[in-house]
């Protein structure tokens, strides 16, 4: 296809994706690679929003499992997502694309507070918008934040970037003959407990018929291929 299939997209990017081959932190090579792909997409006229996780720095669930108060651990995880958002903003802007970071927690010295109408205006002006700090509430994941922000900003699809090429009926790294799904309904995901996104995020998408495409992030160019209508990974939507 010569024209993008979607005009406005929300990309859900995990924090772990930024660490590359490292066991922790941010890999400059991975960061620059993702920034280059995002810039290439933006220059085709597609409006790009991003929700980024913080698992490469701190996971709230892991902290609570180790004995920390769950709410405190989740707030720490939110701050980790802001670190990743600022790093990605810097990498994108170094490639010549205007970018704004908006956070659900107010950190006005480094980012704008999340304001829905302002975020939409940034998108209309061709700026990449990165949403940090999740929903701003403990006990909610960045998957739920992605679903919420996508609907608030009227994105046409959530692009869930992962380390595998779609959704499988079992972990393909543990089960060699695991079967990949090409298409699923929201009910399939929930009833089979496929763990693509958490159940709250999937339910939000189901209630508003917002499709999710799960694809392999590690193959360069896949983001653009999906946005331009190429059938990759697994499509999740209504029946």
What does each of the 239 residues of the chain score in pLDDT, given as a tens digit?
578 999 999 999 999 999 988 888 999 999 999 999 999 999 999 999 999 999 999 877 777 777 899 999 999 999 999 999 999 999 999 999 999 999 999 999 999 999 999 999 999 999 999 999 999 999 999 999 999 999 999 999 999 999 889 999 988 888 989 999 999 999 999 999 998 899 999 999 999 999 999 999 989 999 999 999 999 999 999 98
pLDDT score at 163: 85
> Exposed, middle or buried by CB within 10 Å (0-12, 13-18, 19+), for 191?
exposed
Question: Backbone phi, then psi, for 192, in 5-degree steps?
Answer: -85, -5
In 3D, which of 52, 58, 84 has the Cα closest to residue 73?
58
Look at residue 1 in the predicted model and tell me its pLDDT. Answer: 57
Q: Do the bridges between strand 47-52 and strand 8-13 make them parallel or antiparallel, or are there none, so unpaired?
A: parallel
Instruction: Tell how far CA 75 is from the center of its chain.
Output: 19
How far, CA to CA in Å, does 214 sit from each of 121, 177, 187, 190, 200? 27, 19, 16, 15, 17
Token readout for 24 is 């922790």
> For residue 221, what are its two tokens?
């160019």
d(CA 63, CA 7): 38
At residue 8, the 3 state secondary structure works out as: strand
Classify residue 156 by its DSSP letter.
S
Please give the model's pTM, rounded to 2 decimal places: 0.94
Interatomic CA distance for residues 212 and 154, integer angstroms: 14
CATH number of 8-237: 3.40.1160.10
What residues contact 177, with CB distance under 8 A and at least 6 apart?
none
Sorted by where each begins, the domain ranges of the chain are 8-237
């Amino acid at each position: 296809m010569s024209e993008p299939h979607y005009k406005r997209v929300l990309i859900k990017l995990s924090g772990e994706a930024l660490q590359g081959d490292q066991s922790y932190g941010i890999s400059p090579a991975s960061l620059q690679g993702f920034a280059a792909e995002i810039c290439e997409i933006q220059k085709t006229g597609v409006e790009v929003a991003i929700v980024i996780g913080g698992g490469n720095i701190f996971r709230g669930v892991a902290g609570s499992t180790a004995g920390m108060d769950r709410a405190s651990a989740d707030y720490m995880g939110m701050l980790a997502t802001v670190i990743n958002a600022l790093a990605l903003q810097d990498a994108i802007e170094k490639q010549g694309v205007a970018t704004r970071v908006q956070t659900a927690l107010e950190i006005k010295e480094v980012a704008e507070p999340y304001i829905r109408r302002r975020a939409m205006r940034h998108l209309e002006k061709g700026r990449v918008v990165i949403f940090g700090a999740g929903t701003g509430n403990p006990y909610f994941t960045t998957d739920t934040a992605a679903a919420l922000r996508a609907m608030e900003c009227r994105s046409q699809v959530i692009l869930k970037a992962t380390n595998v090429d779609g959704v499988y009926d079992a972990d393909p790294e543990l089960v060699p003959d695991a079967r990949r799904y090409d298409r699923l309904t929201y009910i399939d995901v929930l009833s089979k407990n496929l763990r693509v996104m958490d159940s709250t995020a999937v339910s939000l998408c189901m209630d508003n018929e917002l499709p999710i495409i799960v694809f392999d992030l590690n193959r360069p160019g896949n983001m653009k291929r999906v946005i331009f209508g190429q059938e990759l990974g697994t499509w999740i939507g209504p029946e």
